[in-house]
Structure 1
């Protein structure tokens, strides 16, 4: 096709191109906004304390969803579906965070986040107290549904040495092509896991325990310490969980603290954030 013929193609007419361009821009607007909006706003500084004994939440906090509000001197989270209320202050790499909390739900499910990006859920360390109907408690790096190191080891071992399967037709052909690569990758990751090089800054993982439950209506005092690779969570003065993170989160994109909840009424109070 000649250049003249190409330029005169009906698909390149303004009546086609202009609406098409408008549709493409409209579809991409959320992604453009996400890419260009920059870091979360800073409107407070550490050390920081908040007793929530006022009429409104104020300018030091931000959320993109959920009807967060103050009720009788406490911060009330009415089951906000993982829309944290972020403090507009940058966290230092080593920090102490303390606060009081109680859940009025029958099945626990208290949660908060530290070293997130100040905008989005699960961008830092997510702390779950009595999660999934009080089944377990967790410290989660970047994904609350991630595996523990032991679970990851078992998953990789299963991929490296899968059970024989009887397949037919195209499934058998695809499996024969794919499986050697899957097995090699799993063995390689197992070696990295044993050497301590598997977990990078953006690799999700979890530490958990099944015996730590949240009681309805009970007021707990929480303390989170992050110092170097150690992330420690205390409940009422006793160690609940510790995570030794080979690639700890901090700095741009991982420097905010936020309260959160899923479906339960949760009340927070007496926040203290202090550098170590």
Structure 2
């Protein structure tokens, strides 16, 4: 082969890279240039993905078949929680250390992680169980017709929620607007507020709740729940007494809305004696027989003895005592001493009351339910079940008659200092229907006219109450008014 021509050799020489200059004596040492690392092979990626799927399989499984929770048992279902293995066998939860303790099911502050029964519910269902909270926060919860995994995926029933101040049946969202709010919206739409569906404010995706105040959970007390649904009506009762009812025109049911879950939040809650069946096969259990309640009538008490006895329901024992022939309360924090005997709807209530403190704050409740008390955050408002009479409240600056809510503008109010330290003030309260009159030391003091008077079995009890101040009560006398 012949030699390359000179022109071609010169061209090849010009394309060679120029030699790099030699580093000087002060130049930094040479480093290797960055080279992109080699990625995972196909086999490596396959192994990594397989490990992720294996670790996350339970969550991926439930995410893919949400609304189709596992089935390990069936309805009718009865459980007394005497077998520790039942929690794992018949139930499912995404969190919370749910466990059997001494024949009961313990929810130790499960933070809204329900324990779901792994059995589909019939469309018409009845649920009964016993429950108690060992914490003053209350907040006992039941999830009904949920999806078996997510809280608030169906109906949520809450007893003593929001610092033990409120009980609700909520559809899909515990913070949903109330039924009254929806009715007002319907009215603004120019539709009869009874027909929420026609007004367009209620459809199959609507979140709503019905609520009741003044029904706190009493720590340590065992409550018997019954919840049943027939058709569109969901009814809830506690200890045989109606609690709340929701009539849902689009009842949640079917796959994805067919599970029951027991739940709670911060409280330590014990569940027992769970029964689930149809309403026809599970008739309501009669409440345990209690001592017969005497009819409303007169009552008198001079407190001249060593102990209160069975005539009174003391909801804060550490704050109540008898001394020097009088009933004394201090730091009672709106937990009344209820007279167990009902009082007449139309009656006079007289007693003496005094405090040695210049802050005053003498308080009683009349025509309440005889058992409710405040058990929530002491910084929040208390809602009574009856009428509240406060002499010298708010550091002896204001006196009121309030219908359940002592901070709302519909109170009867009298401003000014009125409690004289050490003075025995004489109270006389007179009620005729919705007309309530209060006399103090023989003189008219305040009146309240209630257009929807509180009456009936839930509003026929009297209680001594208070907040912080040390207050003494004596010489109680209750008399029915002549027809």
If the TM-score is normalised by the length of the shorter chain, which range does it land in? 0.7 to 0.9
Q: Which one of 118, 124, 136 corresponds to residue 166 of structure 2?
A: 136
8 Å Cα contact 2:127-2:275 kept in structure 1: yes
Contact kept? 1:148, 1:206, Cα under 8 Å: yes
Shift of 1:35: 4.8
Residues 193 and 199 in structure 1, CA contact (< 8 A), matched pair in contact too? no
Checking the alignment, whether the CA contact within 8 Å between 2:235 and 2:244 is kept in structure 1 is yes
1:94 is aligned to 124
- Counterpart of 1:206 in structure 2 is 209
Give distance in 2, aligned partners of 1:35 and 1:105.
34
Instruction: Answer whether contact 1:153 1:193 (CA < 8 A) is retained.
Output: yes
* 1:118-175 residue CA offsets vs partner (Å, 9 max, x unmatched): 0110001101000011111000010000011222455x59xxxxxxxxxxxxxxxxxx
- Report whether the alignment pairs 1:79 with 2:118: no
Question: What is the rounded CA distance, in whole Å, between the counterparts of 2:125 and 2:161 in structure 1?
Answer: 25
1:125 counterpart residue number:
155
- For residue 151 of structure 1, give the secondary structure of its aligned residue in structure 2: helix
Does the 8 Å CA contact 1:62/1:85 hold for their aligned counterparts?
A: yes
Of the three residues 59, 84, 95, the one matched with 1:55 is: 84
Change in 2 beyond 3 A, CA 1:55/1:34: closer
State the match for 1:174 in structure 2.
none
State how 1:237-252 maps to structure 2 within 5 Å: 237-252=240-255
How far does the alpha carbon of each residue in 1:89-110 deviate from its partner, in whole angstroms, 9 at most, with x for none? 0000001000000001112111
Report whether the alignment pairs 1:270 with 2:307. no
Q: CA separation of 1:217/1:37 partners in 2, compared to 1, >3 Å: closer, same or farther?
A: same
Aligned mates of 1:94, 1:32 — CA distance in 2: 31
Select the structure with the greater relative contact order (CA < 8 A; seq sep ≥ 6). 1
TM-fit CA distance, 1:206: 0.2
CA distance in 1, matches of 2:156, 2:78: 21
Distance change (3 Å), C-alpha of 1:45 and 1:265:
same
Q: Secondary structure at the match of 1:58?
A: helix
Whether the 8 Å contact between 1:82 and 1:262 is mirrored in structure 2 is yes
For 2:182 and 2:196, how far apart are their aligned partners in 1? Answer: 13
Aligned residue among 24, 44, 47 for 2:73: 44
Question: Is 1:150 the equivalent of 2:180?
Answer: yes
Q: Please list, as runs of the form range in 1=range in 2, the aligned pairs for 1:147-186 lying within 5 A after superposition.
A: 147-154=177-184, 156=185
Q: 1:247 to 1:138 in 2, by over 3 A?
A: same
Structure with the bigger percentage of helix: 1
Where does the alignment leave 5 or more consecutive residues of structure 1 unmatched? 1-13, 158-185
SS of structure 2 residue aligned to 1:260: strand
Kindly name which structure, 1 or 2, has the bigger radius of gyration based on alpha carbons.
2
Q: What is the match of residue 196 of structure 1? A: 196
Partner of 1:104: 134
**Aligned partners of 2:215, 2:260: CA distance in 1, in Å?**
23
- How many angstroms apart in 2 are the aligned matches of 1:227 and 1:116? 17
The 1:60/1:237 distance shift into structure 2, 3 A limit, reads: same
Give per-residue Cα distances to partners, 1:161-195, cap 9 Å, x unaligned.
xxxxxxxxxxxxxxxxxxxxxxxxx965x759664
TM-aligned CA distance change 1:192 to 1:79, over 3 Å: farther
Structure 1 residue 257 corresponds to structure 2 residue 260: yes
Out of 52, 65, 71, the residue aligned to residue 95 of structure 2 is 65
**Distance in 2 (alpha carbons) for counterparts of 1:32 and 1:72:** 35
Whole-angstrom CA distance in 1 between matches of 2:212 and 2:128: 21
- Any stretches of 5+ residues in structure 2 without a counterpart? 1-37, 43-47, 280-483
- Go from structure 1 to structure 2 and tell me whether the alpha carbon gap of 1:146 and 1:54 turns closer, same or farther (over 3 Å shift): same
2:251 is aligned with 1:223: no
The structure richer in strand per residue is 2
* Whole-angstrom distance in 2 between the partners of 1:68 and 1:89: 18
Whole-Å separation in 2 of the counterparts to 1:138 and 1:205 = 10
If the length of structure 1 is used for normalisation, what is the TM-score?
Answer: 0.75
